C-alpha cells in the first residue's frame, strides 16, 4: 500500500475511533469523506435517488452506532462502510423484488377475478482510486465483469443472475469467482 | 488451500447472497479457519473497491443535516468503545486540514448529478408509459408500507377496481396474527367519518395471504388502504394498531 493511501486509511481509522467515542465532528468528517462515493453506489443499486437517500441515512446511523465494532485488522474503514451501506441497499432491493412479484401475481389474479372468496377478505486520491479500479476492471473479461457488477450493484443472488442471463448457475458462480480473483490480482498490479 | 466450492461460498457470503442459515454455517466455519477468514477479508476489500468505479455524486446537503440531527438524537444511547486498531496504533492527531481538503465542491459534481437526474427522469417516464399501456391501467394498484419494525419486511399490495367496487389484497412476509387477533383491511374514503371495512385478511404460516374483497359500503374515493390488527373476526371500526398503509 502506498504511503498516501496508508495515511488516508489512518485518518479514516482515527475518525472511526472518535466516532465510537461519540464525537459528532469526527462522524461528520467521515460522512464528508465517504458519502459522495457511497451515495452513487446506492443510487446505481436502487435506481431511485429518494430511496438512496433513505439508505444513506440508515447506513450512516448504523456506522454511528456500531463504530466501536469496526476491526481495522480485517478491512479498511471505507470497505467496512461499503459493506454496511450495500447490505442496507440489498435489504431494500429484496423487499422491492418481493413487492414486484406480489404486484405481478396480484395483477394476474385480478384478471381472473373470482366471484367470491371464503374470507372477505471521497478528491484526488480517491479519483486516482477510481482510475485504478476502472483500469483493473478493464482487465476482466466482459462476461465476468457483467456477472460481478450484477451481483455487486444489482444485489442479485447467483441464482437470480443465472436466471437473468439464461446461463447455468455453475457458470455464473465460476464467472463471479474468477472475475473477483482477477480483479484482486489486477488491483495489486495497478497499485 | 481453499477449494473452488469453498471459494464460491466465500464469494456469495461477501456479496450477501447466502440465506440466513447458510450465512450462519459459513460464519461458524470462518471462526475455525484462519485461511478462509483471510480469503474472505481479501475478497471483501476487493469487492468494496468496486464502489470506487461508480461516479461520485454529492448527496443533497439537507441529507447531511438530517443524518447529523438523527445521530444527535441517538448520542446518549450510542455505544462508547474503540474500534480494533490494525497493528500500529491509530494516529494521535488528526490532520483536519487534510480532511477539509477532501471536501468536494458541489460544482465539481453538478454535471454528474444533473446527468443522473436526467436518467432517473427518463426511467420514471418510461415506467409511466408502460403503466399507461397496461390493459389494467384503470385499475388502482396500491402498495402498502410497514408502520413498525415487526412488519418491515412485509409487503402488501391492493388491486382496486372502483368501477366494480371489488379488489384483491396480497400480503407476503407478514407474521401470522396472534391468537385471538385478525388482520383487517380498511379503505379510507373522505366520504365516511370512519374507514370502510374490506374484511379480514387471514395470513398463513407461510406469511402469505391472498384475499379478494368487496367493501362493506360503496367507496367513492379510495384515498388509502390500511391493514390493522383487530379482535378475532374483525371490528366495525378500526381500534387496533395500523401495521401497513399506503395508496
- Is the separation of the CB atoms in A47 and B58 below 8 Å? no
Q: What is the CA radius of gyration of chain B?
A: 25
Is B108 a member of any domain? no
Average pLDDT, stretch B19-44? 91
Distance, in Å, from the CA atom of B222 to the CA atom of B204, rounded to the nearest integer, reads 27
Shortest CA distance from B40: residue in chain A: A74
Total residue length of chain B? 247
- Mean pLDDT of chain A, nearest integer: 82
- Is the separation of the CB atoms in B201 and B185 below 8 Å? yes
Asked if the model's pLDDT at residue B114 lies above 60, the reply is: no
What pTM value is reported for the model? Answer: 0.57
Cβ neighbours for B225, distance < 8 A, ≥ 6 positions apart: B142, B144, B158, B160, B169, B185, B186, B187, B188, B198, B245, B246, B247
Q: What is the CATH number for B184?
A: 2.60.40
Asked if the model's pLDDT at residue A16 lies above 80, the reply is: yes
Contact A133 B72 (CB under 8 A): no
Residue A102: pLDDT band with limits 50, 70, 90: low
Distance, in Å, from the CA atom of B172 to the CA atom of B64, rounded to the nearest integer, reads 34
Contacts of B199 in chain A (CB under 8 A): 119-121
Tell me, yes or no, if B91 comes closer than 8 A to chain A by beta carbon. Answer: yes
Q: Given B82, B91, B123, which is nearest A68 (Cβ)?
A: B82
Average pLDDT, stretch A165-185? 93
Q: For chain B, first and last CA: distance in Å?
A: 55
Residue B84: pLDDT band with limits 50, 70, 90: low
> B102, B139, B153: which to substitute to probe chain A, counting the most A Cβ within 10 Å?
B102
Contacts of A3 in chain B (CB under 8 A): none
DSSP one-letter code for B53? G
- Is the separation of the CB atoms in B40 and B30 below 8 Å? yes
Q: Given A47, A64, A70, which is nearest B74 (Cβ)?
A: A64
Asked if the model's pLDDT at residue A56 lies above 50, the reply is: yes
Selected residue with higher pLDDT from A98 and B42: B42
In this prediction, does ipTM exceed 0.90? no
Q: What is the pLDDT of residues A28-48, one digit of tens each?
A: 999 998 998 899 889 888 888
Contact B42 A110 (CB under 8 A): no
Contacts of A129 in chain B (CB under 8 A): 49, 52
- The grid coordinates listed for B226 are 390500511
Contacts of B12 in chain A (CB under 8 A): 157-158
Using CB atoms and an 8 Å cut-off, which of residues 132-171 of chain B contact chain A? 136, 139, 141, 143, 152-153, 155-159, 161, 166-170
Tracing cell 383491511 back to the chain, one arrives at: B185
| Neighbouring C-beta atoms of residue B213, cutoff 10 Å | 24
* DSSP labels, A144-168: HHHHHHHHHTT---HHHHHHHHT--
Q: Where in chain A is the domain with CATH 1.10.10.10?
A: 123-191
Contact A155 B8 (CB under 8 A): no
Shortest CA distance from B45: residue in chain A: A79
Q: Given A119, A126, A184, which is nearest B199 (Cβ)?
A: A119
Q: What's the number of domains chain B is made of?
A: 2
Selected residue with higher pLDDT from A5 and B158: B158
B210 to chain A, minimum CA–CA distance in Å?
8
User: Any idea which architecture A123-191 has in CATH?
Assistant: Orthogonal Bundle (1.10)
Mapping DSSP to helix (H, G, I), strand (E, B) and coil, where does residue B142 land? strand
Is B165 a member of any domain? yes
Contacts of B78 in chain A (CB under 8 A): 22, 64-65
Q: What is the pLDDT of residues A105-148, one digit of tens each?
A: 666 655 554 444 433 334 445 556 667 777 888 888 999 988 99
Mapping DSSP to helix (H, G, I), strand (E, B) and coil, where does residue B185 land? strand
Q: What is the pLDDT of residues B33-74, one digit of tens each?
A: 999 999 999 998 888 888 876 666 778 888 888 899 888 877
Q: What kind and span of H or E run contains A19? A: helix A3-20
> A12, A28, A36: which to substitute to probe chain B, counting the most B Cβ within 10 Å?
A36
Phi, psi of B160 (to 5 degrees): -130, 125
Distance, in Å, from the CA atom of B171 to the CA atom of B227, rounded to the nearest integer, reads 10
Asked if the model's pLDDT at residue B83 lies above 70, the reply is: no
Does the A1-122 domain belong in CATH 1.10.1740.10? yes
Distance, in Å, from the CA atom of B83 to the CA atom of B90, rounded to the nearest integer, reads 10
Contact B123 A47 (CB under 8 A): yes
Residue where a domain terminates, one of B53, B68, B94: B53
Distance, in Å, from the CA atom of B142 to the CA atom of B223, rounded to the nearest integer, reads 10
Q: For chain A, first and last CA: distance in Å?
A: 7
Range of the domain at B13: 4-53
Contact A11 B54 (CB under 8 A): no
Tell me, yes or no, if B53 comes closer than 8 A to chain A by beta carbon. Answer: yes
- Do strands B196-200 and B181-188 pair parallel, antiparallel, or not at all (unpaired)? antiparallel
Amino acid at each position: 500500500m502506498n504511503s498516501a493511501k496508508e495515511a488516508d486509511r489512518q485518518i479514516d481509522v482515527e475518525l472511526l475511533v472518535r466516532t465510537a467515542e461519540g464525537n459528532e465532528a469526527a462522524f461528520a468528517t467521515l460522512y464528508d469523506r465517504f458519502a459522495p462515493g457511497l451515495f452513487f453506489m446506492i443510487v446505481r443499486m436502487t435506481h431511485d435517488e429518494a430511496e438512496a437517500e433513505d439508505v444513506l441515512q440508515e447506513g450512516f446511523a448504523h456506522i454511528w452506532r456500531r463504530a466501536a465494532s469496526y476491526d481495522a485488522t480485517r478491512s479498511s474503514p471505507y470497505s467496512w462502510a461499503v459493506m454496511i451501506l450495500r447490505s442496507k441497499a440489498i435489504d431494500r432491493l429484496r423487499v422491492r423484488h418481493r413487492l414486484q412479484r406480489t404486484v405481478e401475481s396480484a395483477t394476474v389474479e385480478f384478471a381472473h377475478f373470482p366471484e367470491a372468496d371464503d374470507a372477505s377478505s471521497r478528491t484526488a486520491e480517491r479519483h486516482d482510486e477510481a482510475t485504478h479500479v476502472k483500469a483493473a476492471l478493464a482487465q476482466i473479461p466482459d462476461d465476468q465483469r457483467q456477472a460481478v457488477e450484477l451481483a455487486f450493484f444489482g444485489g442479485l443472488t447467483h441464482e437470480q443472475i443465472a436466471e437473468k442471463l439464461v446461463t447455468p448457475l455453475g457458470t455464473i458462480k465460476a464467472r463471479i469467482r474468477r472475475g473477483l480473483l482477477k480483479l484482486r490480482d489486477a488491483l495489486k498490479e495497478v497499485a | 488451500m481453499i477449494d473452488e466450492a469453498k471459494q464460491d461460498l466465500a464469494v456469495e457470503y461477501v456479496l450477501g447472497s447466502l440465506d440466513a442459515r447458510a450465512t450462519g454455517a459459513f460464519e461458524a466455519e470462518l471462526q475455525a479457519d484462519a485461511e478462509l477468514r483471510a480469503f474472505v477479508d481479501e475478497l471483501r476489500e476487493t469487492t468494496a473497491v468496486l464502489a470506487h468505479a461508480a461516479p461520485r455524486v454529492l448527496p443533497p446537503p439537507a441529507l447531511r443535516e438530517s443524518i447529523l440531527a438523527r445521530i444527535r438524537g441517538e448520542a446518549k444511547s450510542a455505544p462508547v468503545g474503540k474500534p480494533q486498531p490494525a497493528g500500529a496504533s491509530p494516529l494521535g492527531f488528526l490532520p483536519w486540514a487534510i480532511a477539509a481538503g477532501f471536501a468536494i465542491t458541489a460544482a465539481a459534481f453538478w454535471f454528474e448529478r444533473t446527468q443522473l437526474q436526467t436518467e432517473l427522469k427518463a426511467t420514471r417516464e418510461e415506467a409511466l408509459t408502460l403503466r399507461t399501456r397496461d390493459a389494467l391501467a384503470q385499475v388502482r394498484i396500491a402498495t402498502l408500507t410497514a408502520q413498525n419494525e415487526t412488519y418491515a419486511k412485509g409487503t402488501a399490495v391492493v388491486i382496486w377496481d372502483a368501477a366494480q367496487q371489488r379488489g384483491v389484497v396480497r400480503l407476503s412476509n407478514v407474521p401470522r396474527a396472534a391468537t385471538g387477533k385478525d388482520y383487517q383491511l380498511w379503505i379510507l374514503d373522505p366520504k365516511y367519518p370512519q374507514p370502510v371495512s374490506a374484511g379480514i385478511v387471514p395470513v398463513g404460516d407461510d406469511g402469505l395471504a391472498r384475499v379478494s374483497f368487496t367493501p362493506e359500503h360503496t367507496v367513492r374515493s379510495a384515498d388509502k388502504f390500511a391493514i390493522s390488527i383487530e379482535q378475532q373476526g374483525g371490528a366495525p371500526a378500526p381500534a387496533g394498531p395500523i401495521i401497513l398503509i399506503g395508496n
